[in-house]
Amino acid sequence: MFGQEESGVELLEPWGPSGQSSVTTEDQIAYEVTCHEMADGWVEPDRHVLPPGFEDLPLTFLGVLARSVDRGRLNGHDAVRLMQAEARLESSFAASKLATMAAVAHCPPGNPDSPVERSTDEIQ
C-alpha cells in the first residue's frame, strides 16, 4: 500500500528465536499508517489525498482512518473512494449484527450473571 518511496517509512523485520518474523501484515500496515499520518502525508495544501489501496485496508484500520478524513477537502474521485470504503465498513457491521441476532435467538432468558447457554430448539 505504501512504498518506501511514497512515505519514506520502512519497518525493519524483528526476528524471533525461531528465525521467524514476528511482524504481521497488520503490524506493518499500522506502523506505516501511523507514520504517514504523523508526517501529515495525506494532506496537500488545499486537499486531502487518500493513499492507494485505502479502500482495501483491513477493517480495523479503515474505520479509524475513514473517521479522520476531512470530507470537505476531498476531490470527487476520493470522495467516491471514501464512500465505497464506508459501504464496506457498513456491510461488515451489518453482517456482524445479524450474526449476533442469530446468537441471541438461541439464548434462553437470563440476567447479567447467567451462564453461557444456547438452545438447539428450532425457532418457530
DSSP reduced 3-state for 67: helix
Give the pLDDT score at 99.
94
Give residue limits of the domains in the chain: 45-101
- Sign, CA torsion 40/71/6/60: positive
Any idea what DSSP says for residue 116? Answer: P
pLDDT of 85 > 90? The answer is: yes
Distance, in Å, from the CA atom of 119 to the CA atom of 95, rounded to the nearest integer, reads 22
- Distance in angstroms (rounded) separating the CA atoms of residues 117 and 56: 37
Identify the residue whose cell numbers are 453482517: 95
> 122 falls in which pLDDT band (50, 70, 90)?
low
Phi (first) and psi of residue 13, to 5 degrees: -85, 105
**C-alpha cell of residue 85:** 470504503
Give 52-77 pLDDT, tens digit per residue.
888 888 888 888 888 888 888 899 99
pLDDT digits (tens, 9 = 90+) for 36-45: 565 555 667 7
pTM here is 0.61
